[in-house]
Homo-oligomer: A and B are copies of this chain.
Amino acid sequence: MKKYRIAIAGATGAVGAEMLTTLEKRNFPVESLRLLASKRSIGKKLKFRNEEINVEELTHDSFNDIDILLSSTSGTLSKVFSPSAVKAGAVVVDNTSAFRMDPNVPLVVPEVNPDDVKWHKGIIANPNCSTIIANVPLWPLYKKYGIKRFISCTYQAVSGAGVAAMDELSEQSEDYLQGNEIKSVEFPHQIAFNLFSHNSSIAENLFNEEENKMINETRKIFHDDSILISATCIRVPVFRAHAEALHIELKNPAELEDIRELLSASPGIKVVDDIENNIFPMPIDASEKYDILVGRIRKDPVFENGISMFIAGDQLLKGAALNAVQIAELLAI
């Protein structure tokens, strides 16, 4: 079996750490592993299998003898370094938004459009976390019934904003409970015992960037610009799993039993829909799991062939690191 020389850029971040763990857990054929981060992380060591690996500084010369770069830096850094990695012969799986809407770059959710990996020109983009988590259960419905339109209202964990944001939720919660002053550094607003409209900038259509990612990336991944999509993206005081309320209009009628069966049989999904005991998808149950939990599956009376569901998925795993490693697995087939 061929083995791959892997590098992780942003290895010390929340997603980078999960990339490391996910490569190990899924037994990815790693020949060598290079960990890259900013200067201030030099000296740190991270464990992979039974080896301690030194974190090196990310530079333009980091990519010699690398087959696959899993990159989870910032959009700005990705634009700077991804071309160098490609030039050095690596394939970049990029978790930032830098190249997602570039027509020369495939945007891939392995359960949805694995074949798009084939036409890459050096870079494959990993979609936005909320988009991936919604796309996994939407895709089987799309294929079988067609989707005319859907609305996603998100309940997004703080992990999407990084480790420091996760720490801020803890610290603010403690300060609140102790009656201390609340300090907001990572977020513009208090997140403890509060929630707010996703703090990405507002575009001309008055949707924020996060919402527009859901709209535009879904269309690109599904290869269908005719789907009507709307979203309200909200940050909630939860650590690492996103939830979403999906209200969907299918093109063709569907029976609930068929939908439940279809979703249960689809990859990456676990149906959690225990009506009698009121057990449905929750962030704490989705955390550290690979599957998207799907429940509250019901007919939606506002649409002709309406279906609603409530879903939850780990933001750091399927929303980021796992999806990136799955893309790498497609490259390694």
Chain A interface residues toward B at CB < 8 A: 149-151, 153, 155, 169-170, 173-174, 177, 188-190, 193-197, 199, 201-202, 205-207, 215, 228-230, 232, 234, 236-239, 243, 245, 247, 256, 275, 278, 280-284, 295-302, 306, 308, 310
Contacts and interface: CB of A to CB of B under 8 A. Distances in A.
The winner among A149, A205, A232, A275 for most chain B CB atoms within 10 A is A232
Contacts of A197: 278, 280-281, 295-296, 310
B194 A238 contact: yes
Contact of A302 (B150, B188, B193, B196): B150
A261 to B, nearest CB: 16
Contacts of A228: 301-302
B236 A195 contact: yes
Tell which of A188, A190, A230 has the most Cβ of chain B within 10 Å: A230
Contacts of A306: 230
Contacts of A215: 301
Which 6 pairs show the lowest CB-CB distances between chains A and B? A206-B298, A153-B153, A232-B245, A197-B280, A228-B302, A153-B245
A308 B152 CA distance: 12
14 contacts: A151-B302, A153-B232, A155-B155, A173-B177, A189-B284, A194-B284, A195-B236, A195-B283, A206-B256, A206-B296, A230-B247, A230-B302, A230-B306, A234-B245
Nearest to A306: B230
A308 B197 CA distance: 13
A196 B299 contact: no
A177 B192 CA distance: 12
Nearest to A189: B282
Number of copies of this chain in the oligomer? 2
Nearest to A275: B202
A190 B239 CA distance: 13
Contacts of A151: 151, 247, 302
Contacts of A297: 206
Contact of A278 (B188, B234, B296): B188
A229 B302 contact: yes
Contacts of A301: 205, 215, 228-230
Contact of A299 (B201, B206, B247): B206
A296 to B, nearest CB: 6
Contacts of A170: 177
A310 to B, nearest CB: 6
Contact of A284 (B190, B239, B299): B190
Contacts of A189: 282, 284
A11 to B, nearest CB: 26
A51 to B, nearest CB: 29
Contacts of A245: 153, 232, 234
Contacts of A193: 169, 173, 237-239, 283-284
A173 B190 CA distance: 16
